[in-house]
Amino acid sequence: MRKILIAAFLFLTGIISAQKQLTVEAVYRDKAFTPFSLQGTEWIPAAHGASEFSYLREASNGRELVLINAVNGVEKKVLDENILKSGDGNSLRIKGYEWSYGGEYLLFYDLLSARSKKSGGSFHLYSTADEKVKSSFNPAGETVNIHFSPGGKYISYVNNNDLYLLETGTGREIRVTKDGSESILNGVFDWVYEEEFSIIRAYEWSRDDRYLAFWKTDQSSVPLLSIAKWDSVNFNFMNLRYPKAGFAPAVVSVYVYDTKSGELTGPVPVPMKADDYIPRIKFDYTGENLLIQYLSRSQKEFKIFSYNAASRSLSELYSEKADVWTEINNDMTPLPDGSVLLTSDKDGHNHIYQLGKDLTLKQITRGDYDVEKIEAFNKLENTVIYSSKEFGKQYQNIFSVELASGKKTTLTPKKGWNAGNFSPDGIAFINTYSASDKMPASVVMHSGGKVIKRFEHEDDLKSTGYSFQPLEFSNFTTSDGVTLNYYLIKPQNFDAGKKYPVLIYNYSGPLSQVVTDRWGGTTYLWHQLLVSKGYIIAAMDHRGTAGNMRAAKKYMQNKLGYYEIEDQKAFINHLSSLGFADLSRIGIWGWSYGGYTSALALVKAPEHFKAAISVAPVTDWKFYDNIYTERFMSTPELNPAGYKSGSVIENAENLKGNLLLVHGTADDNVHFQNAVKLAEKLIELEKPFETMFYPEKEHGIRGTSARIHLFNMMTKFILNNL
């Protein structure tokens, strides 16, 4: 028996010693942690039922553009990148691309830094029949938002803030606007619209290619900020129009261009003030009427107007007014019968509604959950496809519902995180599934739920050779009766009778979420590194985060920073009741909004936290942009108490714990000013803290070397201070 035990012990210790030890370098450089993904996926706009998409595949001699039929899974190669030439004979590397209707042409272009996909630079028209680039274009100046029209007759683009069209068949150029300048933008947004309304292309086509509607933005009254670029002896500045909280936004209006007559009309007479917003426009299914969303500056009043492009008449279709802000999204979906799908949280949760031609409103989804977004509409089956949290707040799954009967079908029954990329006709989609212990894996599926094609690759963490501890999901109820979700990652060989230091990870922004059963990437891996050193990692979603949309909004309105900290204190009290948390060694860290909350925790609850890492934080809401900040906080003039209470700087005298403050000097989102002004205040108060800045780095502090430097520093800070 003793020999058996010794043999078992030697076997187990051999396994443990054989396991690789996580390091920050491994987190960012070990290719075992680079999950397979379909690079550069693009669907071909086509007739209903012709569902095909392409992606870029690595091959022995370079990358290939591969086409997959999503109905039968058949795959074929379209072209080799290594033999692709531009119109002038130079080698052409595929960065961004899209298909014309029916797949007759491919449009290649550069990709620019933005919140989501943004085309720009030179562009190239490729004929799939001739298997070569038909023509290349490199307009002088800055070119952005390059796209095919829905029918493929035109290429639309913005050059030097003016809107242009190119006929794909003839190459004829049409200049739509002539007043573009640094302050007048046509077909392209200013910084704050892109960032806070999550919209890049400032124009929309009708389905038949006849009408082109676009935003005109006058940002001449918006303050011009300069961000230092330390790239030369005398250095330079990047100039940026950035409206901060309390400052008026740029003035927007909508114009419509008729490609048939060549006539430009506008502005569309939307009843609005100069500082109100137009966050979305979209043509209806007929292409005759332009749907225009209106949002008041307070973001509490929302309307949808319809503008007839031929008669130039305007009518109001829908309105909603509340004491909390309105969420702007891409859910407005015109249907063939003249109705429109939209989402609203008017019943407490975010649900789908159908606005009929007679302006009656029919609720399509119901229940104690939030719909995340409308994914697609399947015309053939008259079904709307959507993602939601119906299986629990930490999961995301995809469903379809028949508009006529209300019959619902679960398309992705597996719990975890399901993210769909749908064909234009809603018949097929690429589903990417992950879980907290599973790297992302993609399959091609039919809208009925059948798997058409699997991509074979390794998604199991066991294959990496490292040891990982599971996320343990749970919840607790606060003293005032609110149930909050959280997870813990405990060290290997955890002993409930011992006391462990705890590092809390947070983001905490309104309607955000970190307690999810999804792959967490490098953040998850760094957390596992700390767990291997004896720390418990914890995360909690406070009452103002995702899951109960209308209630969450009410908690957050006009008081950012309050419940974020109060619920963290309640969470620590709950951890105390579990018996294994060392309450003298509680830390918190986060990035962006999470960096704000982490710094705020040290000054609002110094008795609860020993240390905090604050990366790229807002330190006073008057320093952040108007659309985001006023959405939750109104203006500094109307809500001075809220701004003061939620300011890290205004409460800095209460700092007691160990603070690490990190920022990129070229951050155009949360300006370096935030870190500088907090540091200035702490120095004035003679408060000790640690800090690090990253030259020329923006909000994400991107780059492998910068990330390794940052997370090695963060690791040492935790080991030394927690």
Tokens of 210: 């006849």
Tokens of 15: 């396994």
186: DSSP letter: E
CATH topology of domain 461-721: Rossmann fold (3.40.50)
Instruction: Give CA torsion, residues 433, 436, 438, 440, to 10 deg.
Output: 40
pLDDT value of position 48? 67
CA–CA separation, 447 vs 299, rounded Å? 35
327: DSSP letter: P
Residues 227, 237: contact at Cβ < 8 Å? yes
CA–CA separation, 309 vs 483, rounded Å? 50
Torsion angles phi and psi, residue 117, rounded to 5: -55, 125
Q: Which amino acid, 135?
A: S
Torsion angles phi and psi, residue 516, rounded to 5: -135, 150
pLDDT value of position 460? 78
SS3 195: helix
Cis-peptide into 267, omega within 30 deg:
yes
Please provide the CATH number assigned to the domain covering 148-328: 2.140.10.30
Q: Which amino acid, 368?
A: D
Residue 405's CB is within 10 A of a number of other CB atoms, namely 9
623: DSSP letter: G
CA–CA separation, 91 vs 197, rounded Å? 37
Torsion angles phi and psi, residue 489, rounded to 5: -120, 115
Q: Where are the domains of the chain?
A: 39-102+119-138, 148-328, 461-721
Query: Which strands make up the sheet holding 658-664, listed edge to edge?
Result: 471-477, 483-489, 536-540, 500-505, 581-591, 611-615, 658-664, 690-694
The half-sphere exposure of 320 on its side-chain side, counting CA atoms within 13 A, is: 21
Q: Tell me which H or E stretch contains 706.
A: helix 704-721
Q: Are strands 611-615 and 658-664 parallel, antiparallel or unpaired?
A: parallel
Tokens of 633: 């906080």
Q: Which amino acid, 233?
A: V
Q: Are strands 383-388 and 371-378 parallel, antiparallel or unpaired?
A: antiparallel
Tokens of 677: 């002004």
CA–CA separation, 251 vs 670, rounded Å? 23
Give me the residues of the chain with pLDDT under 50, please.
Answer: 1-17
Token pair 């009518």 is at which residue? 315
Q: Which of 620, 614, 616 is nearest to 598 (CA)?
A: 614
The CA distances from residue 102 to 41, 119, 132, 155, 714, in Å, are 16, 21, 17, 15, 51
SS3 3: helix
The residues pairing with 180 across neighbouring beta strands, listed in sequence order, are none
Q: Which amino acid, 36?
A: F
Q: Find the angle CA(216)-CA(220)-CA(224) to the nearest 5 degrees.
A: 125
Contacts of range 229-232, beta carbons closer than 8 Å, 24 or more positions apart: 229/666, 229/696, 230/665, 230/695, 230/696, 231/696
pLDDT value of position 59? 86
Residue 347, Ramachandran bin (φ over 0: left; ψ between -120 and 50: alpha; else beta): alpha
Q: What is the largest CA-CA distance in the chain?
A: 94
What are the respective helix, strand and coil percentages of the chain, to the nearest 5? 20, 35, 45
Q: Which of 312, 295, 364 is nearest to 333 (CA)?
A: 364
Strands (E), 51-104: 52-59, 62-69, 75-80, 96-99
Tokens of 102: 């029916």
Angle in degrees, 0-180, between the axes of helices 704-721 and 521-531, rounded to the nearest 10: 30
Q: Specify the pTM.
A: 0.95
Residues 677, 649: contact at Cβ < 8 Å? yes
Residues 86, 133: contact at Cβ < 8 Å? yes
Tokens of 132: 């070569």
Q: Which amino acid, 320?
A: E
Torsion angles phi and psi, residue 706, rounded to 5: -65, -40
The CA distances from residue 281 to 8, 86, 214, 307, in Å, are 68, 35, 8, 10
CA–CA separation, 372 vs 672, rounded Å? 33
> Positive or negative, the Cα torsion across 547, 589, 670, 188?
negative
Torsion angles phi and psi, residue 612, rounded to 5: -150, 140
